[in-house]
Chain A
Amino acid sequence: MKRRIVSIVTLLIIIVAVIIAVFPILFTFSNSFMPAEEINSRYSASIDETNSDDFISHNIHFVRFGIIPEQPTVSQYENLIFRSPQYLRMFWNSVLLVVPVLIGQLILAPMAAYGIENIKWKGKEAIYFTYIIVMLMPTQILLVPNFIVAGWLGIRESYLAIILPALFHPLGVFLTRQQLKNFPKEVMEAAALDGANSWTTYHKIVRPNLSSVVAALVVLLFADNWNIVDQAVVFIKDFYSQPLSVYLGTAVTDAPGMFFAVSVFFMLPAILVFLMGEEHLTEGISLSSVKA
């Protein structure tokens, strides 16, 4: 009996948590089918003839919260696709910032993790410690060295100033090495005894077995770099060169009538990547062997 109560309470807690997690996304999605006039009438602070029946206090119109559009339409999407090329351009900017980072990390991180795990030199943990320290530094500190290097290389105004440091951010190496620690050493040694060199061992045996952590990395790196704001604000001066992740903050006041459609359009790739990699997210990350 007690057990049943516990499992019902657990279920209720999870249901409430799921609703909290999903509701803002659902709201954004359903509001993307409202015409611009309805959005204005519902959420604008100013009072006009369309919303004077709503709650008004101190001369402010309060929001008329809504999930279901009164007149469902795809006009926001039409505006986005046919009449607002700047959004498509900024979406493309986001793509240009994410794809090189993903490709680079997926090549570099597993290789580095494999290398450091097998190097016999005692001092290698000091090298690894550098990785950990860099990993634990917030973006705002790391931006200072990134900014200096970008100056040295003369790429301060270019996407490379963001992409190059992101390629080497140590989180990928850390997560891959954690996973590699669970990998049986004997298998690698047996391959070496059979005459396989370290490249063959890596490509034929190690890399294929890292697929779950690689999938987890794809999800995490995509989510992080698709949502890039801090670095872009510092490095990208030209307004139309900003990724869409930055512009959304302006769009919410500049173009509320199509903000929801833009948002759905922008979150879609991230959600697709997530759906493809989600099952690996939990199995690809192992922290159990972390020691101080």
Chain B
Amino acid sequence: MNNKQTKTYWLFLLPSFVGVLLFFVIPFVFSLYYALIDNMGSQSFVGLKNFTDTLTNDLFQSASLNTVIFIALAVPIGMAIALFLAICLRKMKAGRGVATLFLLLPLVVPSGTIVYFWQVIFGNNGLLTETLLKLGFEHASVSQNQWTMGILVVVFLWKNVSYNIVLFWSGLNWIPKSYYENMSIEGAGAWRQFASVTWVYLSPTTFVVLLMSIVNSFKVFKEIYMLYGTYPSQDIYMLQHYMNNQFMSLNMQKLSSAAYIMFLVLAVVLLIIFRVQKKLTEQFY
């Protein structure tokens, strides 16, 4: 291929790359400046003061804790359910197309359209409380806020598991059927087939699903906003709410420092996941 052609490939990439730089990378780098100054007026440097302020802020701390709890629940449960359903789908002989269609439907249904249903089930006068009362539980024990996080996980997973099913499904389809046939000939049971074929060859997919699940878990803001409005109870006050409060008050210092803290923590988590994935890949191949 000639030199001129190589240059035109850059032209294909350019519009998109300029956009990524302009709308994400450059302003994000620039926001570090905002995180290091005292305010937009005098703009004098205060070192890491905004960072220490944010880290010691009570709201930021409880928001971080709630976000971590939510991710720790929603990500593994969501991945496990999706993988399980994807494997079941693959084992189906008839009706797979219809079943997939229905299972993926929640993916496209906007969060807000289902909110009435969730209120009828989980609301203060909802079906769940009613059932618990009829079973003889005390009213005080069923109407407390401690269940909110659990409810949130259920509502979130209902909508978001299907995305993981799509990803796992595409990964499963890449595993040649003959690998399983060889295993069956050797007399391996379902569990051994899963452990030594599915799990091994699916590991690149699992890794992507894990990464995407972590990003997507922040989308729970939609569900909280629909169910509990702009000011939810303390138990589900997430980093998203903390950020939104700073947006409302246009506090660029708090916004930028919080964004950088979240970015750094996430970067470390991603780095660990990348490393583990690399180790696993070397082990298997």
Contact = CB atoms under 8 A, between A and B. Distances in A.
Interface residues of B, number: 110
Contact of A119 (B10, B133, B174, B215): B10
Contact of B219 (A108, A139, A283): A139
Interface stretch (B42-50, B51-59, B221-229): B221-229
Given A144-B259, A192-B1, A282 B108 contact: no
Interface stretch (B16-24, B72-80, B144-152): B16-24
Contacts of B31: 144-145, 148
Contacts of B284: none
Nearest to A173: B16
B204 A290 contact: yes
Interface of A: 6-7, 10-11, 13-14, 17-18, 20-22, 24-25, 27-28, 31, 43, 45, 55, 57-58, 60-63, 65, 108-109, 111-112, 114-116, 118-120, 127, 130-131, 133-149, 152, 164-165, 167-168, 170, 173, 189, 192, 197-199, 202, 219, 222-223, 226-227, 229-230, 233-234, 244-249, 251-252, 256, 259-260, 263-264, 266-267, 270-271, 273-275, 278, 281-283, 285-292
A161 B226 CA distance: 23
A63 B97 CA distance: 36
A36 B255 CA distance: 43
Contact of A136 (B93, B134, B270): B270
Contact of B221 (A115, A167, A192, A229): A229
B16 A108 contact: yes
B281 A112 contact: no
A229 B111 contact: yes
A175 B112 CA distance: 27
B116 A290 contact: no
Contact of B110 (A140, A145, A230, A270): A270
Select the residue from A141, A189, A259 with max chain B CB neighbours within 10 A: A141
A6 B194 CA distance: 15
B117 A28 contact: yes
Given A18-B102, A222-B108, A282-B166, A45 B124 contact: yes
A197 B5 CA distance: 7
A248 B110 contact: yes
Given A18-B99, A230-B240, A144 B92 contact: no
B101 A278 contact: yes
B87 to A, nearest CB: 9
**For the complex, would chain B's binding face be called helix, strand, loop or mixed by DSSP majority?**
helix
Interface in B218-245: 218-219, 221-222, 225-227, 229-230, 239-240, 243-244
B249 interface: no
A233 B207 contact: no
Given A21-B105, A274-B104, A278-B101, A168 B16 contact: yes
A112 B85 contact: no
A21 B217 CA distance: 19
A57 B133 CA distance: 9
Contacts of B24: 134, 142, 145-146, 165, 168
A286 B113 contact: no
Nearest to B256: A144
A287 B114 contact: no
